[in-house]
Structure 1
Amino acid sequence: MENRKIAEEIIRQLQLFSLSGVYGVLLGIWYEFFRILRKTFVHKNRIVHLEDIIFCLTAAIGLFILFQVYNQGMIRFYCLFGVEGGVLLYFFVLSRWVGKFLSYLVGFFCRIIKIARGIFGFPGKVIVKNTGKTLKNMRKTIKIIRNHK
C-alpha cells in the first residue's frame, strides 16, 4: 500500500514536470510572437518596455496558475527546471520553424488589415474630401456675405 502511494506521487511529480516543460515551450512561443511584432513594426522604446511588462506579467500569472492548480501553490524546483527545459527546447529546436510560421501569420493578418482598410477607408476618404470642399465653399460664401453688409 505504501509503495503504491509513493509510485502515484512520483507519477504525479513527473506529470507536473512534463506540464512545466510544455508551459516553457508555450512561453517561448509567446515571446517569439513579441519578437515577430518587433521585427515587423517599428517600435519606440516605451512600447517595447510595455510589451516586456505584458510578457512578464502573463508569464508570471500563468506560472502562478500552474502551481495553484497542479501543486496547491507550492513552488518546486523541478517545476522551474521543467519550465527552463521547455524554454531551452523551444529556442534551440523549435524556434526556427515556429518563428517562420508566426512571421507568415503576422504578415497575412497585416495584408488582410491593409485590404480591409483600403475597402472601408475609401468611402471615408471620399466623404472627408467632399466635406472639406463643402466647408471651404461655405466659408467663402460666408465671407462674401459678410463683406457685402
Structure 2
Amino acid sequence: MEIDIMKDFMSFGVSILIGMSIGMFYDFYRVFRRFSKPSKVMSYIEDLLFWMIICFIFFILLIKLTGGVLRGFVFIAALVGILFYMFFLSKIVYSLFYHIFRLILNLLSEIINVIANPFKKSIGFIKAKIKKIFLLIRVFFKEVGKYKKIISRKK
C-alpha cells in the first residue's frame, strides 16, 4: 500500500474548509434562531435537524475524501477548521448574517405592507358599514320590543 502524502495533505486542507463551513452554517443557524424565536419543542426539532445536516455533511466528507475510511487527521482538521472559524471569523460573519436577515425581513415587511394597505383600508370601511347595520338591527329589535310590550298590555 503506497502512502500518497499529497492526497492526505489535500484531504487535510479540505477538512479544514469543511470545518469552517460547518462553523458558518452554525452562525447562520444562530441568526435564524434569533429571528424565529422557536418554542421549546420546535427548538428541539430544529436542533435535531441541524445536527442531522452536520452529520450528513461530515459523512459525505468522509466518503469523498477518504473513501469512507475513518482517518484521525480528517476529524482533527475539521475540528481545527471549526475552532479557527469560531475564534477568528464568527463575529464578523454572524454580524453580516444578522444584518442581511434584518434587511430581508424589513424588505419583506415593507412589501407586505404595500400590498396589504389597500385591503386594510377596504376592510376598515367594510367593518364600519357592518357595525352600522348591526346597530340599526339592534335598535330596530329594541323598538319592536317596546311596541310589543305596549300592544300586549292593551289586550
TM-score (norm. length: structure 2)? 0.75
Change (3 A) 1:131 1:71: farther
How far does residue 62 in structure 1 lie from its aligned partner after superposition? Answer: 0.8
Partner AA of 2:88 in structure 1: V
Q: Comparing 61-70 with 126-135, which one deviates more in the overlay? A: 126-135
**Mapped contact 1:24–1:84 kept (Cα < 8 A):** yes
Match of 2:74 among 71, 79, 87: 79
Q: Aligned equivalents of 1:68 and 1:130: distance in 2?
A: 63
**Mapped contact 1:27–1:59 kept (Cα < 8 A):** yes
Q: Aligned equivalents of 1:63 and 1:27: distance in 2?
A: 9
**Tell me, what secondary structure is at the counterpart of 2:69?**
coil
Structure 2 counterpart of 1:89: 84
Q: Comparing 96-105 with 125-134, which one deviates more in the overlay? A: 125-134
Change (3 A) 1:71 1:139: farther
Matched, 1:43 2:38: yes
Change (3 A) 1:137 1:56: same
Structure 2 counterpart of 1:63: 58
Q: Aligned equivalents of 1:23 and 1:82: distance in 2?
A: 9
TM-score (norm. length: structure 1)? 0.78
How far does residue 61 in structure 1 lie from its aligned partner after superposition? Answer: 1.0
**Mapped contact 1:34–1:51 kept (Cα < 8 A):** no
Deviations 1:36-83 (A, max 9, x none): 223334332122212211211111111111112222222211111111
Q: Aligned equivalents of 1:66 and 1:131: distance in 2?
A: 60
**Tell me, what secondary structure is at the counterpart of 2:60?**
helix
| Structure showing greater Rg | 2
Structure 1 counterpart of 2:150: none
Ranges in structure 1 where 5+ consecutive residues have no aligned partner: none
Match of 1:12 among 7, 13, 19: 7
